[in-house]
Amino acid sequence: MKKILLVIFFAAFVFATYSANPPVYVAFHWHMHQPIYQPGENLVQSQNSNVFSYNLYDIFNSRSGPYTSWPSSAVNKMLSMPNAGAQVSFSGSLIENLNVMEANGKGFSNWKSSWNSMISKKTVLGNQRLDMVAFGYHHPLMPLIDYADIRTQIRKHKAVFAQNFPGMPYSKGIFPPENAFESHIIPALVDEGIEWVMVDNQHFDRAAKGQPWAKSSNVVEPNKADILNPNPNDWKQLNGLWAPIPISAAWGHRPHRIKYIDPASGKEYKMIAVPTSTFFGNEDGRGGFGALNYEATMSQLETYNTDPNHPILVVLHHDGDNYGGGTDSYYGHNFDNFVNWINSNPDRFACTTIQDYLQKFPPAADDFIHVEAGSWSGAGSDPEFLKWNGDPVDGYSHDRNSWSIITAAANIVKTADQINPNSQATKDAWDFLTVGQTSCYWYWDGTEDWDSKPTKAANYAVAKAMNVVNSGSDLTPPSIYHPQREPYNPGGTEWGNPMSSDFTVWSYVYDVSGLQSVKLKYRTDKDGENSLLTSDNETYAGGEDVNAWQELPMTEKAIASKLSLQPTYKANEFSTQIKGLNNVLVDYYIEAVDKKGNIARSPISHVWVGKTNTGGGGDVGSQVGSYIIMPSTPSNNDVITIELPENKEGAVLHWGVNKFEKPIAEYLPFGSTYWNDGVAARTPFKLVNGKYQAQIGPFNNGLQPASFISFVVHYTATNSWDNNGGKDYQIALITTELKQVDNNYVEVFPNPVKNNILVQSADVINNLQLITLQGRVLAEKHQVNHLNVENISSGVYLLKIKFENGIETVKKVIKN
């Protein structure tokens, strides 16, 4: 009897808790996009060119439901609900492609009818039931392009919407492509009339004190400079879906206000950040209601939903045209089940559009937070945007190469725009430049010559723009690629490994009239905290909270493009190192002056520099003197470049593993030999882009673990040695391993393999890499389950498989 009474009491308690709290609000965001597959061509021309290994029409026709009637059909099932609806992002390039197919009889006849039929469907508050939110026309990675480019992309999107969906009001909200956000894009959004922006809420959580970071999150540790928000004390470990770390159950699921302060004028730009739910959204993309158990998972948030003025909002964001989130079952019977579930629980859950939610429950006027940079989970999430900004391999990065070319083209196009914005050549140049900023060209790199597409678009853009540039005076300042740093957490840890407290800031800088100077300006904060209540850290003028600016000249480096299609113009890399800081908050920016005297300044960036630390590798720190080491904090999986501080012909790197142990033969680069003592290795320095460099590594063979590399330099022309005063030089290595997950069902076949290797798994595959036992990536493909290895030499390799849910596994493959 006591047990029965206890159960009844518990049930009554739970019911009372549910009824006392407001409902949890649920919103949907479905993302639709296809790029321009070849700059300068329409879809039919690209298909007819026969350069692709697949049929372009099949890509579109297999998604005809999401691109036509399925989303409107789903929303129409909720017309009885006062606030229900959905958000959709629909790129301008997708509209362009569908119109080309329709005009050429390749499908999609009258494809816009279902979308236009939703214009008259309003919520009880008079907002669009189907809110086709603002977007960048060509799907650009907005944090890596500048103010003018962002505004141009949005304006083009507005124009194509007005042409194709007449009468549809342009949305007040935006889903930035790849859900990629950084605060410096706020002014461009605000100036285009946008009031709210969707931000993946892991970047709320990671900017809050007390966030329980773990390696399983698949994102590097946040930098302390971003951890500015108070501890919400509502960390919850979710069950029943992939959620490797606890989340902020309430604070991280509520919209908040954000702002950006113009560093020159001090003007504040304000808008609302709407959190998209990292793990709920990722799981919903597997198939919707049923694939994600809404009841079992979202009910875990209910006890935290205690603020009736700001109830929890779960925004389920994912591709609406791919995988489980783009199927007829998602929009069909699974969505029917969702509607039935909502109708059965009206006091606990409610479906809403984001615009209705914000009108009913606006954030408090003083509820301002800081949001970390980053994108959504399926693209890596990290604040460095490495999916589009990948680190060099063997001293070269296709991603960075493309950005150097786009940086130069952007400056030339902007100069044409300054001279004659009404010229048709200028308008055409803008069209090609914005095509070249398509993030897919970086995302899908490594196949189908995607790496060359930014170059092709940039070459078309500058060919048009130079006709105008040559007709007038250059009053346009230099273009500066968004400044980057290495390591990301100086003096802290990355993946648990200690990082050097000295860090390098680098960028690409270009001006069509030539550059007079490029400098890094940096200053330290007095109390170690960038208060949200002051603007001292955000402006060039500064204030009482910060010290005076210091400046460093930046070293220019030309890096040749390795593409068969060479760029007409290309920006050089500029870098410098900030050394000797310890436990301090640092503000920094880049200032560039062209030969006409025009001055450009980048946005101000912030970084916390931790304790003085010269590198990883256990208790051994790097001691490299004036030699330049790239990357500056290498791991055992990196190819390490050592560059002479002064060009001297005939130099040889004399080196060994750890404390001058003899390197195994697998570690010797081509052209290297052993010294006559039979222990040290000898690797000649070679002239590369005007600098003498030697490359060694990676050092990840289990036969000889390496914590650090010892080296001296033998200058053979004078038969002199630089051995650091008898102490030798050392490069500390961050020891990493390929993550392996044993409980993930994966089958790789055939194995041994001759031509194509297939991967079968219950989970969606994000990325495949074929890797040598020394860690070199030989082949890579994205979003497919097969890899062609026909041209790979016979031997034993590792196949690294990364899934959409963030899990990775590695399989050994034998190539015949």
Q: What does the DSSP assignment read for 493-523?
A: EETTEE--S-EEEEEEEE-TT-EEEEEEEEE
Higher pLDDT, 217 or 118: 118
| Distances from the Cα of 357 to the Cα of 45, 79, 211, 366, 720, angstroms | 44, 16, 27, 18, 73
Positive or negative torsion for Cα 198, 199, 202, 206: negative
What is the spatial distance between Cα 392 and Cα 388, in angstroms, rounded to a whole number?
A: 12
pLDDT interval class at 15 (50, 70, 90):
very low
Phi and psi angles of residue 733, each rounded to the nearest 5 degrees, phi first: -110, 135
What is the reported pLDDT for 801?
84
Residues 558-570: tens digit of each pLDDT: 999 999 999 999 9
Q: Dump pLDDT digits (tens) for 215-272.
A: 888 899 999 999 999 999 999 999 999 999 999 999 999 999 999 999 999 999 999 9
Distances (CA, A) of 593 to 99, 145, 170, 400, 416: 44, 19, 39, 22, 18
Q: How many CB atoms lie within 10 A of CB 436?
A: 27
Q: Which helix (H) or strand (E) holds 76?
A: helix 70-76
Other residues' Cβ atoms within 10 Å of the Cβ of residue 236 = 16
Cβ(255)–Cβ(272) under 8 Å? yes
Q: Is the model's pLDDT at 105 over the cut of 70?
A: yes
With DSSP H G I counted as helix, E B as strand and the rest as coil, what are the percentages for the chain, rounded to 5?
A: 25, 25, 45
Q: What is the pLDDT of residue 11?
A: 45
* Residue 197 pLDDT class (50, 70, 90 cuts): very high
Distance of alpha carbon 466 from alpha carbon 563, whole angstroms = 23
- The more confident residue out of 143 and 801 is 143
Range in 5-9, 210-214, 319-323, 346-350 the model is least confident about? 5-9
Q: What would the pLDDT profile of 261-296 be if each residue is shown by its tens digit?
A: 999 999 999 999 999 999 999 999 999 999 999 999
Q: What is the pLDDT of residue 707?
A: 84
Return d(Cα 219, Cα 212) in angstroms, integer. 12
Residue in this structure with the two tokens 């493959």, named with its chain if needed: 813
- The string of DSSP letters for 362-393 reads PPPTT-B-----B--GGGT--TT-TTTSPPPB
Amino acid at 458: A
Mean pLDDT of all residues belonging to the chain: 91
| Pairwise CA distance, residues 779 & 756, whole Å | 12
Residue 195 has pLDDT above 50, yes or no: yes
The count of residues in the chain is 816
Using only C-alpha atoms, what is the Rg of the chain? 28
pLDDT at residue 775, rounded to an integer = 52
pLDDT for 735: 66
User: Cα–Cα distance between 801 and 3 in angstroms, integer?
Assistant: 50
Structural domains for the chain: 2-379 (3.20.110.10), 398-609 (2.60.40.10), 628-732 (2.60.40), 746-815 (2.60.40.3080)
Angle between helices 424-436 and 453-469 (to 10 degrees): 160
What's the CA gap between 490 and 790, in Å, rounded? 42
For 717, counting Cβ atoms within 10 Å of its Cβ (0-12 exposed, 13-18 middle, 19+ buried), the class is: exposed
What percent of the chain clears pLDDT 70, i.e. is strictly above it? 93
Read off the pLDDT of residues 515-565 as tens digits, 9 standing for 90 and up: 999 999 999 999 998 988 899 999 999 999 999 999 999 999 999 999 999
Contact between 572 and 508 (Cβ < 8 Å): yes
Q: What is the pLDDT of residues 367-380, one digit of tens each?
A: 999 999 999 987 88
- Are the beta carbons of 205 and 237 closer than 8 angstroms? no
The DSSP symbol for 215 reads: G
Q: What is the pLDDT of residue 742?
A: 39
For the chain, what is the largest distance between any 2 Cα atoms, rounded to a whole number of angstroms? 97
- Residues 25 and 131 sit within 8 Å (Cβ to Cβ): no
How sure is the predictor about 762, in pLDDT bands with cuts at 50, 70 and 90? low
For the cut 50, the answer to whether the pLDDT of residue 616 exceeds it is no
Report the distance separating Cα 249 and Cα 234, nearest Å: 6
pLDDT at 14: 45
